[in-house]
Structure 1
Amino acid sequence: MSEADTETVPGRGTIWVEKYRPQTLDEVAGHDDITARLQSYIEKNDLPNLLFSGQAGIGKTTSAVAIAKELYGDDWQTHFLELNASDERGIDVVRDQIKNFARHDPGAVDFQIIFLDEADSLTNDAQAALRRTMEQFSDKTRFIMSCNYSSKIIDPIQSRCAVFRFGPIPDDAVAERIHYIANEEGIETTEDGVGALVYAADGDMRKAINALQAAAVMGETVDEESVFVITSTARPEDIKEMVKDALEGDFTRARSKLDELITERGMAGGDIIDQLHRSVWEFGLDDDDAVRVLERVGEADYRITEGANERVQLEAMLASLALN
């Protein structure tokens, strides 16, 4: 396929997550309260150390980079150091890269920024060294840290930061962004297709955009079926039927549906557990049944996380629901 042909095929040539990454805080979707507070820091040119926490794909890294771009303009990369702490998580990265950058004279700007992505991957020793570095160079360096779990960040660092907790991006904000990108790329979508993208993303904008791009390559129209296939996601009604069959004592039928999800759709046990957990209150179950399902889901999730066989644990969960 020639380069000219490639440019006419939706989804080819560029990664849409990067192509449509927000460049300013105003463009960050779904976190108006947080971006407004961050914008006030920028307007006053008075940025504290920041700690962003929350699940993946909700705008933590994008917000950090947008802060640097708004503070420093075209020279933002000169005054901004980005490190992924999951790649280099030991004390040496603090002693070498971070400390060397932090001691630099920021020049024409009041301070420079060090951004530590996935900071909860840093060892305790590295975090202790980081705390000292934050104190030592507080006159000319600000730190922005992002993490999935703020509880893994030691208290002395948390107390030195303004903590922002990013929640999942609201469904309407995800849908709006999908419609915008589809329009920009000339992609035809159905409402069911957009709804499926929103459901599969579960508040993760990056996942929604990647799924849209992948589905756009498959055919002319992004519809519900193509999205569920691409994302290896079960339809909510399939999960609901499996659970109801088990609760009604029909273990054989429930197990058959589970087998279809794992074998034919290629779903992982953890993904099935996640869908069950976030959908159980949408099944119309009475409180007693909902509590039973959640109890069994929690037990199966723990065992799978500890390394137990996924299929065995999921079948045991359905059998337990069918017996009671």
Structure 2
Amino acid sequence: MPIFQSIPELYKSRVLELNASDDRGINVVRTKIKDFAAVAVGSGHRQGGYPCPPYKIIILDEADSMTEDAQNALRRTMETYSKVTRFFFICNYISRIIEPLASRCAKFRFKPLSEEIMSSRILHICKEEELNLDSEALSTLSSISQGDLRRAITYLQGAARLFGSIISSKDLISVSGVVPQHVVQALFAACKSGDFDSANKEVNNVIAEGYPVSQMLYQLFDVVVEADISDEQKARICKRLAEADKCLVDGADEYLQLLDVASNAMRALCNMPEEFPHES
């Protein structure tokens, strides 16, 4: 890539970058991508005599948003023009890339950034933008962004627009959509008490406050993993959390799913059977 970037005319003729979440239909594959991939290139030389690779590069960002038909069409394009074109797929969920396409690629997985790296870059941005971020707010930002620097910058930008140059931990939580920890702990404590009415009240509070239930499940998972309970209890609760998360992705009702998680967690924490016996 540095080779192409050093010579602008080569970059324009040899690199095609598309955001697949926007350009994701089969027509884009059949026209724009196929036409670009089909053109042969020579082995040019950059300044200094360094050889330029005899192929082009197509970069598809958010490739997991492409339709299945488009991915199947792209597979044929890759096979046909593999000698003159290289493909880069950038995605969040490799499971959404069809197997024939994924099997033709070398996979590189990138871990979330460490808190040290995140903090260093955020402090640099705060210095350049003249923002005041104390140590607690910095730690909160690293935590809620989960190692995603782009997400951290988005939260920081939103907080700066709403609250000015002095940003607190509370400000960052309010713009991020993260559920306050005391709300998560209150629901877990209600489940642990064995009182269904109390758990139902906490579930209603979460829904009434407008907190995203998917985020609630994510944070509840962390609480369960760190809780002083048996491995069997953790397994039962985490299994139901995963099932509820899948149901939410499929469009299920948030209140019913969270209430079901709470009731299942209560049964696990109080050592009740997973299913109540039915009377014949």
Fold shared, TM-score > 0.5 on shorter chain = yes
Structure 1 residue aligned with 2:255: 311
**Equivalent residue in structure 1 for 2:33, among 98, 104, 113:** 98
**Aligned to 1:81, what secondary structure does the other structure show?**
strand
**Aligned to 1:145, what secondary structure does the other structure show?**
strand
> Shift of the alpha carbon at 1:80?
1.7
Structure 1 residue aligned with 2:170: 225
Structure 2 residue aligned with 1:234: 179
Assess if the C-alpha contact under 8 Å between 1:300 and 1:317 holds in 2.
yes
What is the rounded CA distance, in whole Å, between the counterparts of 1:197 and 1:70 in structure 2?
36
> Shift of the alpha carbon at 1:241?
3.1
1:82 aligns with 2:17: yes
Structure 2 residue aligned with 1:64: none
What is the rounded CA distance, in whole Å, between the counterparts of 2:67 and 2:238 in structure 1?
33
1:143 aligns with 2:78: no
Structure 1 residue aligned with 2:105: 161
**Equivalent residue in structure 1 for 2:157, among 188, 213, 218:** 213
Structure 1 residue aligned with 2:144: 200
Larger relative CO (CA 8 A, sep 6+): 1 or 2?
A: 1
Deviation digits for residues 105-135 of structure 1 (CA, Å, limit 9, x no counterpart): 4453432211112223334443333233223
Q: 1:276 to 1:106 in 2, by over 3 A?
A: farther
> Shift of the alpha carbon at 1:214?
1.1
**Aligned to 1:82, what secondary structure does the other structure show?**
strand
Deviation digits for residues 10-48 of structure 1 (CA, Å, limit 9, x no counterpart): xxxxxxxxxxxxxxxxxxxxxxxxxxxxxxxxxxxxxxx
What is the rounded CA distance, in whole Å, between the counterparts of 1:302 and 1:72 in structure 2?
42
What is the rounded CA distance, in whole Å, between the counterparts of 1:161 and 1:289 in structure 2?
40
Structure 2 residue aligned with 1:250: 195
**Aligned to 1:139, what secondary structure does the other structure show?**
coil
Please report the RMSD computed on the Cα atoms of aligned residues, expressed in angstroms.
2.5
What is the rounded CA distance, in whole Å, between the counterparts of 1:302 and 1:133 in structure 2?
33
Deviation digits for residues 30-86 of structure 1 (CA, Å, limit 9, x no counterpart): xxxxxxxxxxxxxxxxxxxxxxxxxxxxxxxxxxxxxx3554325134432112233
Question: Which one-letter code corresponds to 1:85 in the other structure?
Answer: A
Question: Which one-letter code corresponds to 2:183 in the other structure?
Answer: D
Structure 2 residue aligned with 1:73: 6
What is the rounded CA distance, in whole Å, between the counterparts of 1:70 and 1:201 in structure 2?
34
Q: 1:317 to 1:160 in 2, by over 3 A?
A: closer
Q: 1:78 to 1:187 in 2, by over 3 A?
A: farther
> Shift of the alpha carbon at 1:191?
1.6
Question: Which one-letter code corresponds to 1:207 in the other structure?
Answer: R
Assess if the C-alpha contact under 8 Å between 1:304 and 1:313 holds in 2.
yes
Assess if the C-alpha contact under 8 Å between 1:246 and 1:254 holds in 2.
yes
How many residue pairs end up in the alignment?
A: 256
**Aligned to 1:234, what secondary structure does the other structure show?**
coil
Assess if the C-alpha contact under 8 Å between 2:213 and 2:254 holds in 1.
yes
What is the rounded CA distance, in whole Å, between the counterparts of 1:70 and 1:260 in structure 2?
56
Is 95-104 or 160-169 further displaced after alignment? 160-169
Percent identity at matched positions? 37
**Aligned to 1:162, what secondary structure does the other structure show?**
coil
What is the rounded CA distance, in whole Å, between the counterparts of 2:213 and 2:60 in structure 1?
32
Larger Rg: 2
What is the rounded CA distance, in whole Å, between the counterparts of 1:305 and 1:155 in structure 2?
22
What is the rounded CA distance, in whole Å, between the counterparts of 1:303 and 1:123 in structure 2?
22
Is 267-276 or 297-306 further displaced after alignment? 297-306
What is the rounded CA distance, in whole Å, between the counterparts of 2:148 and 2:202 in structure 1?
27
**Aligned to 1:165, what secondary structure does the other structure show?**
coil
> Shift of the alpha carbon at 1:314?
1.1
Assess if the C-alpha contact under 8 Å between 1:72 and 1:79 holds in 2.
no
Q: 1:158 to 1:301 in 2, by over 3 A?
A: closer
Question: Which one-letter code corresponds to 2:6 in the other structure?
Answer: G
Q: 1:104 to 1:174 in 2, by over 3 A?
A: same
What is the rounded CA distance, in whole Å, between the counterparts of 2:80 and 2:257 in structure 1?
51
Deviation digits for residues 263-289 of structure 1 (CA, Å, limit 9, x no counterpart): 23x211112112222442123433243
Structure 1 residue aligned with 2:62: 118
